[in-house]
Structure 1
Amino acid sequence: MFYLRANQIERNPDTLLEDYKAAEQLYMQAIELDPKFALAHAHLASTCAEIFHFDEPTEVWRTKAYTEAEIALRLQPNLPEAHFALGQCIYWMDQDYERALEQFEIASRLSPSNGDIGRLIAAIKRRQGKWEQSLEAYERVAKIDPQNPNTVRELFFTLTAMRRWPEAAKWGERMRAIAPASLVAKIQSGYVDFWWKGDTRLLKSLLSQVPAGTDPDGVITSCRWDVAMIDRDFVAARTALQSCGLNEVSYTTGSATPKSFLQGLIELAEGKQAQAQKFFELAQPNFEKAVEEAPLSADRHANLGWFYAFAGRKDEAIREGKRAVELKPESKDALDGAIMNCYLALIYARVGENDLAIPVIERLLKTRGAVDSADYSITINDLKYRWEWDPIRKDPRFQKLITNNAL
C-alpha cells in the first residue's frame, strides 16, 4: 500500500518538492515494514536524487540517494530500477555522463520497455549539446509509451529550449490532454505563447483554470506574480503574493525563493528603492544560507548573484554570477550552462555593465537552452517586455538586438 501510493505520487510530471517528500516518507514506511524490499529502496533512491536535482542539492540528499541505490543493488543485483537509480545519482550529482549511461544501458537491457530509462538517456544527450539526437530519442520513447506525461513534458521542454515555438505549443496541448491536472502543462503552454507571440493572455487564461486553493510549493503564486510583472501590473503582482500564505515559493531551480524578495522586486519596479531594500534585507539570509548549505550548486550561486544584483551589490553579484558559470559551463552542460549565462547577462544588465551584458545577450539569443519561465530568460519577448531589462533598454545596441532578431 505505502509503495503503490508513493509510486503514483513520484510519477507526477510537475516535479513538485512536496510530492517528492511525500513519496519519500511513504517509501520509508514501506521499507520499515520490509527492510529487504529492494524495489522500494530503489525508488527511494530515485526520489532522493530527484529532490537533489530539482530542489535541494545538499549533501544530505546525495548521501541518502547513493546509500539507498547501493542497498537495492546489494539486495537484488539485477533489479533494473536499482541500476536506473544509481544512474540518476551519477548523472545528476556527479555529472559523469558516461558512467551514468553505463547504468542506464544495464537497466534498459533488464527492462527494455521502461520508457523512463530512455527518457534520461535522451536527457543526457541534451546536456551534451546533441539537441537533434536528444529530440529523436525522446520521440522514440514517446512512441513506446505515448501516454507517459513525463516523456511528453521532456519533448515539450526540449522543443521550447530549441525555440521551436509552434511544435512546442502542439506538445503543450498534448500534455494538457493526457495530464489535465498538470500545472506544468498549463504554465509552460502559457509561457510558450508569450515567448512566441509576446502575448500573456493564454498564460493568464490557463492560470484562471487552476482550482482555488491549489498552489503546491507556491508555483501558482510565483507564476501569477511573474505574469503580472511582465504586464507591469504591479497591483496584480502584489495581490498574488498577498494571497499566498507561504514564506517561500518555487520560482527558480535549486532552492525556494523568499516571498519577501519578490515583494521587494515590485517596489523596485515601481521606483521605491527604500521600501525595496527593506524587503531585500529580509530575503538576504535565505539566499546566503542556501549557498552555505550547497557551496557547489551552480543554481544557488546564480540565485545569490541574481539577488545581489537587484539589491545593488555589484561586486558580489558579478562574483556569484561568474561562479555559477564556472560550476556549470556550457561545455559540460548545454542546458543548465546556458541558463547560468542567462543569469550572468541579467546581472551585468542590472549593475550597469552594458559592455559585458550585450555580447552575452547577443550570443544567448541564438543559443539553445537559454529559455526559462523566469525573469532571466533570454528570448526576444522576454527582453522586449520584462521590466528587469530596463536599465539597458535605451542602449542602442540592446534596441538593435531586439529589432534585428525580431525580423
Structure 2
Amino acid sequence: MSLRRFPEVVRNLDQVLNITPDDVDILATKAVIAQAEGDLPRAAALLAPLHPNADDSFLLETKVYQAILERRPAPAIARLKEILAKPDPALGYNNGELRFWLGWAQGVAGDHAAAQETWRQARSELEPFLKEQPDNYGLIGVMALTSMALGDKAAALALAQKAMAMTPIEKDALDGSAALDVLARVLAQAGEPDRAITAIQKLLSIPAGGFFSVGIPLTPALLRLDPMFDKLRNDPRFQKLAQSEAPKAADK
C-alpha cells in the first residue's frame, strides 16, 4: 500500500475475498484504494452495503471520507450525529475524533457555524486524553487538524511539528509520513502554500503512509478531491502535482 502499487494490492485482496467474500475490512480496504485512485463510484459501490457501528472506526471513517470526497456529506452527518448523541465511553478519544469528522462534514455542507461548534466540542473532548497520552501521535494529529479547523494556526502547527519530531521519517517511514501528511494538511489550510507544497512533494516522492483510514498514502487523485487542499487549487505547482497519476486497479 505504501508503495502505491494499488493494482497489486487489489489482486491480493481479491484472493482473500475468494475465500471470505464477506470480509468487511477487505471490502473497505478496496474502497479506500478506489478513493486513492479517484474512482469514487467504485468506492461508493463497495461501501454501500456496509453499515459500520461506532466501534468500527476504520469503516466508519472510510464512509464519512467518501461522503466528504463526493461533497455530499448529509448522510454522514446524520449517522455521526446519531452515534455521538450517545457516545460510548469505551471508545476513548475516538469519540472526539468522530466529532472532528462531523465538524469537517458540516463544514463541507456549508454549515460553518455548526462545524465550529462541533470542533470546539471535539477539542474539549480530546484535550483530557492528550494530557493522559502526550506521546500518542495519532491523537496529536487529530488535535492538530481540529485546532486548524478552529483557526488556531499556532497550536495546529506546534502539534503537527511535535508529531513529526516524535516519528521522524528517517526512523519510521510509515508513521513518519503519516505525521507529514498531517503537517501538509495543516499548512494547506493555514495559508502556507510554499511549505504545504514542499510537504506534499515529499509525500508523493516516497513510500508513505497516510493519516486517514488504513494509512493510505496521499495521491494525486486525493489532492484533486480532498477539500482540505482547496486553498491550494489555484497554485500551478499544486495543479502539476495533482495531475500526475498512479497506476489504477482493474474493476472487480
Q: TM-score, normalised by structure 1?
A: 0.54
Give the aligned partner of residue 340 of structure 1. Answer: 179
How far does the alpha carbon of each residue in 1:337-373 deviate from its partner, in whole angstroms, 9 at most, with x for none? 1111011100111111111100110111121123454
Change over 3 Å in CA distance of 1:302–1:315 after alignment to 2 = same
Q: Distance in 1 between matches of 2:148 and 2:88?
A: 20
Taking the aligned partners of 2:217 and 2:146, their CA distance within structure 1 comes to: 16
Alpha-carbon shift at residue 260 of structure 1 (Å) = 2.9
Aligned partners of 1:256 and 1:189: how far apart in 2? 23
Query: Are residues 1:193 and 2:31 paired?
Result: no
Q: Is 1:215 equivalent to 2:215 in the alignment?
A: no
Deviation digits for residues 251-294 of structure 1 (CA, Å, limit 9, x no counterpart): xxx95152332222123223433222111111112222221111
Residue number in structure 2 paired with 1:316: 155
**Aligned to 1:365, what secondary structure does the other structure show?**
helix
Matches of 1:247 and 1:173, distance apart in 2: 35
Total equivalences in the alignment: 240
Q: Is the 8 A contact 1:247 1:260 kept in 2?
A: no
Contact between 1:218 and 1:248, CA under 8 Å: does it hold in 2?
A: no
Listed one character per residue, the Cα deviations across residues 37-87 of structure 1 (whole Å, up to 9, x for unaligned) are xxxxxxxxxxxxxxxxxxxxxxxxxxxxxxxxxxxxxxxxxxxxxxxxxxx
Counterparts of 1:135-174 in structure 2 under 5 Å?
A: 160-174=1-15
Between the aligned partners of 1:287 and 1:303, the Cα distance in structure 2 is 8
Is 2:230 the counterpart of 1:387?
A: no
Q: CA deviation at 1:166?
A: 0.8
Q: Write the distance in 2 (CA, Å) between the matches of 1:216 and 1:263.
A: 13
Aligned with residue 396 of structure 1, among 227, 236, 239? 236
Bigger CA drift: 254-263 or 276-285?
254-263
Mapped partners of 2:196, 2:95: distance in 1: 24
For residues 235 and 307 of structure 1, the distance between their equivalents in structure 2, rounded to whole angstroms, comes to: 20
Please show how residues 296-375 of structure 1 align to structure 2 within 5 Å. Answer: 296-371=135-210, 373-374=212-213
1:184 shift after superposition:
1.6
How far does the alpha carbon of each residue in 1:214-260 deviate from its partner, in whole angstroms, 9 at most, with x for none? Answer: 526143432221111110012232233245365379xxxx9515233
1:236 matched to which residue of 2?
A: 75
Cα distance in structure 1, aligned partners of 2:192 and 2:211: 23
- Matches of 2:88 and 2:210, distance apart in 1: 23
State the shift of 1:207 in Å: 2.2
* Aligned CA distance change for structure 1 residues 346 and 174 (closer, same or farther; 3 Å): same
Unaligned runs of 5+ in 2: 247-252
CA distance in 1, matches of 2:124, 2:157: 18
Aligned residue number for residue 101 of structure 2:
262
Counterparts of residues 45-56 of structure 1 (less than 5 Å): none
Q: 1:265 to 1:216 in 2, by over 3 A?
A: closer
- Where 1:331 maps in the other structure, the secondary structure is coil
Alpha-carbon distance between aligned partners in 2 of 1:233 and 1:344, rounded to the nearest angstrom = 26
In structure 2, distance between residues paired with 1:384 and 1:184? 26
Contact 2:2 2:208 survives alignment (8 Å): yes
Kept in 2, the 8 Å contact 1:190–1:204? The answer is yes
Question: Unaligned stretches of 5+ in structure 1?
Answer: 1-159
Question: Are residue 285 (structure 1) and residue 119 (structure 2) matched?
Answer: no
Q: Which has the higher contact order (CA 8 A, sep 6+)?
A: 2
The percentage of counterpart residues that share the same residue type is 25
Candidates 11, 19, 24, aligned match of 1:183: 24
1:372 & 1:383 partners in 2: Cα distance? 14
Matched, 1:205 2:50: no
TM-score with structure 2 setting the length: 0.85
Structure index of larger Rg: 1
